[in-house]
Amino acid sequence: MRLDKFLVNQGFGSRKEVQKLIKAGIVYVNDVPVKDPSFHIDPNTDVVEIEGQEVEYKENYYFMLNKPKGYITATYDENYPTVMDLFSAEPIVNKLFPIGRLDIDTEGLLIITSDGVLAHRLSHPKWNVEKEYFVIVEGDVSDIDFSKYEKEGIYLKKDKYKTKPFKVNVLKTSFEESELLITITEGKYHIIKKIMYALDHEVKYLKRVRIGPLTLDEDLDVGEYRELTEEEIELLKRYVRM
119 sits in which H/E element: helix 116-123
pLDDT band at 228 (very low <50, low <70, confident <90, very high): very high
Residues 108 and 138 in one domain: no
Q: Does 193 lie in the same domain as 226?
A: no
CA distance 128 to 186: 7
Q: Are residues 230 and 119 in the same domain?
A: yes
Judge if pTM exceeds 0.85: yes
Same domain, 136 and 16: no
Same-domain pairing of 140 and 205: yes
Answer yes or no: do 108 and 144 share one domain: no
CATH code of the domain in which 174 resides: 3.30.70.1560
**What is the reported pLDDT for 13?**
85
Full 3-state SS string of 162-217: ECCCCEEEEEEECCCEEEEEEEECCCCCCHHHHHHHHCCCCEEEEEEEEECCEECC
**Chain segment 21-36, per-residue pLDDT in tens:** 999 999 999 999 999 9
- Is residue 122 located within the same domain as residue 223? yes
Count structural domains, the chain: 3
Q: Which domain holds residue 152?
A: 130-211
Give the tens place of pLDDT for each residue, 89-142.
998 898 999 999 999 999 999 999 999 999 999 999 999 999 999 999 999 999
For residue 226, pLDDT beyond 90: yes
Reading across the β-sheet that carries 48-50, which strands appear in turn?
32-33, 27-29, 48-50, 53-54
What average pLDDT does the chain have? 95
| Mean predicted confidence (pLDDT) in 39-58 | 92
Whether residues 136 and 203 share a domain: the answer is yes
Q: Which of 109, 79, 86, 111 is nearest to 97 (CA)?
A: 111
* Residue 208: exposure state from Cβ atoms within 10 A (0-12, 13-18, ≥19): buried
E strands along the chain, which residues?
Answer: 27-29, 32-33, 48-50, 53-54, 62-67, 97-98, 107-113, 131-138, 155-156, 161-162, 167-173, 177-184, 203-211, 214-215, 225-227
Encode 11-26: b = buried (16+ Cβ within 10 Å), e = exposed: bbeeeeebbebbeeee
In 3-state terms, what secondary structure has residue 18? Answer: helix
In this prediction, what percent of the chain has a pLDDT beyond 90? 89
Query: In CATH, what number is assigned to the domain containing residue 78?
Result: 3.30.70.580
Of 54, 71, 88, the position where a domain reaches its end is 54
* In a shared domain, residues 154 and 40: no
CB 159 within 8 A of CB 171: no
**Per-residue pLDDT, 187:** 86
Over the stretch 148-160, which tens digit does the pLDDT of each residue have?
999 999 999 989 9
Do residue 166 and residue 48 come from a single domain?
Answer: no
75 shares a domain with 97: yes
106 lies in the same domain as 225: yes
Q: What's the pLDDT score for residue 10?
A: 87
Residue 196's pLDDT is: 97
Catalytic residue flag (residue 145): no
The residue from 103, 140, 159, 217 that is catalytic is 103
Secondary structure (3-state) at 147: helix
